Chains A and B, each alone.
Chain A
Amino acid sequence: MLNKALVLILTYNEEIHIARVITDVKGNLPDADILVVDGESSDNTQPIAKKMGAWVISVPSSLGIAGGMEAGLMFACEQGYDYLIRIDGDGQHEAREINHLIHPVVNGQADLAIGSRFKAKESTYKTSLTRSLANRLFSFLVSILAGEKIYDTTSGFQVLNGNAVDFLCQLRNFEYSEVETIILLKKAGFKIQEVPVTMKPRVGNQSSFNFIRAFFYVFTGFLSLLFTINCNYRRRQDFDD
């Protein structure tokens, strides 16, 4: 079905889940390549992922999810993939839903498909109060700026097509953030579609998202949104190449 697809799994100390995530992905997308971008885990995430047949790239944990995603974008861009599928390494996303999520992108209805936890009316996904408030705030702001209702702006379950990947790779000094990417792509004329997905509750090690982190996340996200609508990102090739 897919020409050339890359499944990007971002991990940090996910030795409990990584094997199952890779197996699930392989079961649902047997032809896709799997790239694990790991934030220098101190556990056995990398050896397990390699043993399962995934490619592994290690990036410093200080670069966070954004650094991992940027590495994945660079990789997909360099290797000329037609689709980049991002899925979390903690096993919260259902790999079987990739086929559902990729559908609008393959059909040309969207350049970015977001696996939305909140779009479905019957959604039962529960999150902490801080996360919930942050999500609602970003959803409100992004919906205004993007000109269409986006329910889940911080979802880590996404599919991008090759054009969107190339566009993001060419931006100079671009630091990935989910909310900013939505606005950037929308501003550049790319189509975005939300697809309702189910998300399992987190098992094992706890999320590092506490109140202080939430505050900084909201604050920096809010600022980056303000600047994204006003700044015209210059393409890297204008400077580097």
Chain B
Amino acid sequence: MTTKIQVLAIVFSCLLALAVLGLTRRKLIRIKYTLVWLLMCLAFFILSLCGNLFFVLADLIGVYSPVNAVFIVAFICILLMLFNFSVIISRLSYANRRLTLKLGLLIWRIEQMEKQK
């Protein structure tokens, strides 16, 4: 890894961590999701700092080029996060669906009460 890329990667991971912290402070990301992103930033930071880790990683996975090792790890991380978000979206969707139906029923009840007045 060249020093230029190393510096860029370190700066990027720091900026991402700052952005995540900023959004959390403004209550735009919930704490439990902040943790996941901060762990990602930390992993990215450590990998950027210790360039040799890529070679170790490539050896571990069994690929020739360290760049491919980076891609594989990044791909798996993104896939896991997308999977996690699918679970979250499904949960939200179920809750939203139930809430919407309950709201419909409540509006009906209010209409009936108003008619009885």
Q: Which residues of A contact B (CB under 8 A)?
A: 37, 55-60, 63, 67, 70-71, 74-75, 78, 173, 175
Contacts and interface: CB of A to CB of B under 8 A. Distances in A.
B101 A58 contact: no
B105 A55 contact: no
A contact face: mostly helix, strand, loop, or mixed: mixed
Say whether chain B's binding surface is mostly helix, strand, loop, or mixed. helix
Contacts, number: 33
A71 B105 contact: yes
Chain B interface extent, by class: 10 to 19
Contacts of B97: 63, 67, 70, 175
A12 to B, nearest CB: 14
Contact of B105 (A60, A74, A173, A175): A74
B94 A71 contact: no
B52 to A, nearest CB: 46
Given A63-B97, A67-B97, A173-B94, A57 B102 contact: no
B108 interface: yes
Interface in B88-117: 94, 97, 100-102, 104-105, 107-108, 112
Given A55-B108, A63-B97, 11 more contacts: A37-B104, A56-B108, A57-B105, A57-B107, A59-B100, A59-B101, A63-B100, A70-B97, A70-B101, A75-B108, A78-B105
